[in-house]
Amino acid sequence: MGRLNGKKDVRILLVGDPGVGKTSLIFSLVSEEFSEEVPPKAEEITIPPDVTPEKVTTQIVDFSAQEQSDENLFQEIRKSNVICIVYAVDDDDSIEKISSYWLPLIRDQLGEDHTIPIVLVGNKVDLVEYSSLELILPIMNQFSEIETCVECSAKTLKNISELFYYAQKAVLHPTSPLYSSDDRDLTDKCKKALTRIFKLCDEDNDGVLNDSELNRFQKQCFNSPLQSQALEEVKNIVKRNVPDGVFDSGITLSGFLFLHRLFILRGRHETTWTVLRKFGYNDRVELDEEYHRPFLNAPTGCSNELSPVLTRPNRNWLSQHLRLWQNAFTTGTPALVKAGVGIATLAIVSIFIVRFVKSINSQSSGK
């Protein structure tokens, strides 16, 4: 599975009580019409990336207790990237089983703290006048692995493509590493990562992102600058919500964090994920190994040499890190801490050079 750019295959598994309409949902998605007669289990379907909204290869896997054993089910649970628990909105028993059977069974297979997102799917809305959300919300509050819920109908095709889109999104742009619904705030890891990104982008190191810094950030993450009117609107939103979010017509760290919290609350997790991934973070919001140790490719019999001219990626990497150290030295840090940081820098640079030379030696000797 790809990592740094956040793209990977998505394997979606549908589970749920017999007769809730799992197979019908898959048939309705594929044929864009409702089939009265469906087999117990749909064949596994692979949807090529160019016809999916998130442009990733997507596999859809059905489960039927009529044809498959518990062991088949457990294997499928372990292979999936996202699990849709389907219930029928007119069948309270199928709703009750979400929390009494399906969610515990999945935890049993994947571990209590698993990170496979769950989407709750309320099918057959064509049969009722009411919404099942009143019964579903307490379950969502109790089980943090539930990413979202959607009500749909295989019969009228209502929300069918949305359901598979939400499932894809739950894998590619999951909420839980970014936002804690218990604390109603960004997670500590997410705050730490965004703070680092803010400092890297604050090139003049004055504690705010001015217009040109914001534009460079925007271009780096989204390949296009912000229009000046859009920039003003963003600042106005920040100003209205966070008293110290804008200073000297630039966005402060608390304004920057507020914006990302807002994106997530409005369901635009992909914006924050794009930023994090551009700055080297993986799905657990940790700096990726590839970012720490870029692979040096030296074919057998060839050697790498340290060039006196830094390549552009190396220059960027070095200047980003130097700016981080510079921040540590210039923001009113006590002298003792500065001395500590200085010694740590020397130690890290020495280790880096030794490892770098070692890796070049071992690659050039073909090991």
Interacting residue ranges for ligand GTP, rule: CB under 6 A: 18-24, 36, 38, 40, 64-66, 123-124, 126-127, 153-155
| Least distance to ligand GTP, CB of residue 47, Å | 19
Beta bridge partners of 61: 13
Please count the residues of this chain forming the interface with Mg ion, following the rule CB under 5 A. Answer: 4
Choose the binding region for Mg ion from 34-42, 73-81, 128-136, 304-312 (rule: CB under 5 A). Answer: 34-42
- Find the residue with minimal CB distance to ligand GTP: 21
Residue 35 binding Mg ion, by CB under 5 A: no
b/e burial code for range 147-180 (CB count within 10 A of at least 16 → b): bbbbbbbbbebbbbeebbbbbbbbbbbbbebbbe
Residue 99 binding Mg ion, by CB under 5 A: no
Among positions 13, 20, 21, 23, the unique one binding Mg ion when judged by CB under 5 A: 23
Q: Which does 351 bind (CB under 5 to 8 A by kind): Mg ion, ligand GTP, none?
A: none
Give whichever of 38 and 119 is closer to ligand GTP, judged by the CB atom: 38
| Least distance to ligand GTP, CB of residue 312, Å | 54
| Least distance to ligand GTP, CB of residue 89, Å | 9
The radius of gyration of the chain's CA atoms, rounded to the nearest angstrom, is 25
Residues whose CB falls within 8 Å of the CB of residue 17, separated by 6 or more in sequence, listed in order: 87, 88, 91, 93, 94, 97
Residue 64 binding Mg ion, by CB under 5 A: yes
CA distance 26 to 160: 9
User: Contacts with Mg ion in 39-58 (CB under 5 A)?
Assistant: 40
Give whichever of 36 and 248 is closer to ligand GTP, judged by the CB atom: 36
Distances (CA, A) of 110 to 75, 78, 105, 174, 207: 11, 7, 9, 17, 43
Q: Which does 250 bind (CB under 5 to 8 A by kind): Mg ion, ligand GTP, none?
A: none
Choose the binding region for Mg ion from 16-24, 105-113, 198-206, 338-346 (rule: CB under 5 A). Answer: 16-24
| Least distance to ligand GTP, CB of residue 127, Å | 5
Choose the binding region for Mg ion from 60-68, 76-84, 135-143, 324-332 (rule: CB under 5 A). Answer: 60-68
Give whichever of 161 and 180 is closer to ligand GTP, judged by the CB atom: 161
In 91-181 the beta strands, taken as DSSP E runs, fall at 118-123, 146-151, 179-180
Angle, in degrees to the nearest 10, between helices 160-172 and 22-31: 100
Task: Identify whether the C-beta of residue 187 lies closer than 8 Å to the C-beta of residue 144.
Answer: no
* Amino acid symbol at 81: N
| Least distance to Mg ion, CB of residue 259, Å | 44
**Structure tokens, 335:** 């002298």
CA distance 148 to 122: 11
Residues whose CB falls within 8 Å of the CB of residue 86, separated by 6 or more in sequence, listed in order: 14, 15, 16, 20, 21, 22, 25, 121, 123
Judged by the rule CB under 5 A, the positions of this chain that interact with Mg ion are 22-23, 40, 64
